[in-house]
Structure 1
Amino acid sequence: MDVTELILHQHAEQRRMFAMLDEIPREDTETLGAVWKRLEILLETHAEAEELFVYPLLLRVGTGQADADDVEDEVEDAVKDHNEIRDGIRRAAQEDVGSNAWWEAVVDCRVANSDHMAEEERQDLADFRRHTDLQARHDIAVRFLRHESLRAAYGVTPGDKDPDEFIDQHT
Structure 2
Amino acid sequence: MDAYSYPQQQQQQQQQEQQQQSQSQQQQQQQQIQSNFQVQSVLSPYNNIGNENIPRQRSTMLEFLDDEARRKYREKRDKNNLAAKKSRSNRRERERQMQLTIERMSKETQRLTNELALTRQRSEYLESEMNRYKALSYSQQEMLLRDNSNFPPQPPPPGSFMYPPFPPI
Greater relative contact order (CA < 8 Å, ≥ 6 in sequence): 1
Is the radius of gyration larger for structure 1 or structure 2? Answer: 2
TM-score, normalised to structure 2's length?
A: 0.23
* Larger fraction in strand: 2
* Larger fraction in helix: 1
TM-score, normalised to structure 1's length?
A: 0.23
